[in-house]
Amino acid sequence: METAKLKGTIPDGVYPTMITPYTEDGQIDYPAFEQLVEWHIERGVAGLFAVCQSSEMFHLSLRERLELARKSVEFVRGRVPVLVSGHVADSLDDQVEEAKMMADTGADAFILVTNRLVRRHEGDDVFKRNLELFLERFDRDIILGFYECPAPYKRLLNADIVRFIVQTGRFGFLKDTSCRMVDIRAKIEAARGSGFKLFNANAATLLASLQAGGAGYSGIMTHFHSDLYVWLCEHWKDLPERAAELQEFIGLASVIEYQLYPVNAMYSLRLEGLPINLVSRRADARQFTESMRLEVEQMMRLSHRFSERYSS
C-alpha cells in the first residue's frame, strides 16, 4: 500500500473529552453543555473531543449521539475543531452507516474506536482487513482518527498497526491510552513524518510524551483544570523548569480519576460555577461520598493556586 497524503491536519494542543450534562430527569442538558463548551474555549483549548466515552456514548441513543455532535459544532461556531466519535455499533455494516451520519453533523474529524473493528480474541490481521473494508465503504471527505477506548475492552495499537494506518493517508489523530512511554515512543516513531499525531490521555506521562514528539493531551483531567494542560503543551519547550514543576502537580492530581468519574468531574465543574447536575447514566451519584467531595474540593483549591502562578 502506498502512502497517501492527508488532507488537513489536527492542530496540536489540548482536546477535552467532553462530558454530557443531564437534567434532573436524565435528559441531555444542552444549555449546561453550551456553558461547558465556553468554559473550555475560554481556557485556550485547541479543540473538543465530543461524543466519546466521557460523553457516555455507550449510554446514548443514536439520535442523542448525533444531536450531541451537531450541538457541539453549533456551540463552537467554528472557533476550534470539533472531533466526534460515537463509534459504538457492533457489525461493520452498522459502523459504516453510523460513521457517515456522524461525519455529516459538520464535525471536523470522525474518531474510530480501536476495539470496534475487531473482537478481543482476533489478531491484527483481522483489524487491518476490517479497516480496509471500512475505508472502502466510508465515502465522506473528513479527517479520521483512532481512540484506544477502554470500553468494552481496551485494544492498544502497536507500531506495526500505526504504520499501516499512516499508509492509508486518512488518519490524523490518536488518543493514546497506553500510559506507557515505551509504547508511546514506538507509536510516535512509527508515525514520524506523517500527519498522524498522538495525543496522550495519561497525565503522568504527558511531559515525557511531548518531549518524545507527542502533539498534546486529550483526557479526563481537562474537566478539572484544562488551563494547566494548555499551559504545559504551549510552554514545555521554552520554560522547561516550570513545565517540570507543573508536571509533578498534574501527575499527582490525576489520581482523582480513580474516583467516581464522571460524577467527580461534574462536581468539580459545579465548583467552577457551571450549572451541571450530578447526574450520570454510567455512574451512581449516590456513591459520591463526602470524602470524595472533600478530595475534589482540596485538589481544586491547590489547582487554582497553580493557575494563578502559571497565568502570570
- pLDDT at residue number 80: 98
- pLDDT at residue number 8: 80
- pLDDT at residue number 4: 42
**What is the residue-wise DSSP string for the chain?**
-PPPPPSS-PPSEE--B----B-TTSSB-HHHHHHHHHHHHHTT-S-EEESSTTTTGGGS-HHHHHHHHHHHHHHHTTSS-EEE-----SSHHHHHHHHHHHHTTT-SEEEEEGGGSS-TT--HHHHHHHHHHHHHH-----EEEEE---SS------HHHHHHHHHHT-EEEEEE----HHHHHHHHHHTTTSS-EEEE--STTHHHHHHTT--EE-STTHHHHHHHHHHHHHHTTT-HHHHHHHHHHHHHHGGGGGSSTTHHHHHHHHHTT----S--SSS-GGG--HHHHHHHHHHHHHHHHHHHHHT-
**pLDDT tens, residue by residue, 38-72:** 999 999 999 999 999 999 999 999 999 999 999 99
Q: Are 230 and 206 in contact (CB under 8 A)?
A: no
Q: How high does pLDDT run on average in the chain?
A: 96
- pLDDT at residue number 65: 98
- Taking the C-alpha atoms of residue 219 and residue 15, their distance in angstroms, rounded to an integer, is 7
- pLDDT at residue number 7: 59
| Cβ neighbour number for residue 269 with a 10 Å cutoff | 21
The cell for 64 is 442523542
- pLDDT at residue number 1: 39
- pLDDT at residue number 311: 82
- pLDDT at residue number 3: 39
The cell for 213 is 514528539
pLDDT below 50 — which residues of the chain? 1-5
Domains and their CATH numbers in the chain: 13-310 (3.20.20.70)
Find how far residue 102's CA is from the centre of its chain: 16
